């Protein structure tokens, strides 16, 4: 974990300020929280293989990715479990 907190930086991953610097060293995060799955219009690109690759690229060693799933219409737990299995990481759903 980052010094003095649960995460190294409070920057929003979707902001341009968080893009990889010109020298190629992308910032690493100890904790990534995704909370975009409660509405009827789920952003499916966030639970795609490519999305998981981006999260893992930005995750510090020993880091944690948390998905807040509160959608009443679609059960995303099996989708995330499959993504985790494909990536070879542990998932608690």
**C-beta atoms surrounding 65 within 10 Å:** 20
pLDDT in tens, 48-86: 999 999 999 999 999 999 998 888 888 889 999 999 999
Q: Where are the alpha helices (DSSP H) in 1-93?
A: 49-58, 77-87
The reply to whether the predicted model has a pTM over 0.85 is no
Q: Is the pLDDT of residue 6 over 80?
A: no
Residue 33 backbone zone (phi > 0: left; psi -120 to 50: alpha; other: beta): beta
Nearest residue to 51 via CA among 13, 88, 5: 13
Under 8 Å between Cβ of 67 and 73: no
Helix axes 77-87, 49-58, angle to 10 degrees: 60
Q: Where are the domains of the chain?
A: 16-87
């Amino acid at each position: 974990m980052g010094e003095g907190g649960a995460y190294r930086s409070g920057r929003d991953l979707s902001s341009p300020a968080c893009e990889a610097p010109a020298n190629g060293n992308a910032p690493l995060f100890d904790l990534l929280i995704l909370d975009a799955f409660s509405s009827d219009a789920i952003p499916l690109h966030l639970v795609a293989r490519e999305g998981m690759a981006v999260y893992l690229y930005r995750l510090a060693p020993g880091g944690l990715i948390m998905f807040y799933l509160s959608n009443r219409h679609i059960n995303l737990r099996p989708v995330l479990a499959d993504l985790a299995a494909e990536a070879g990481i542990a998932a608690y759903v």
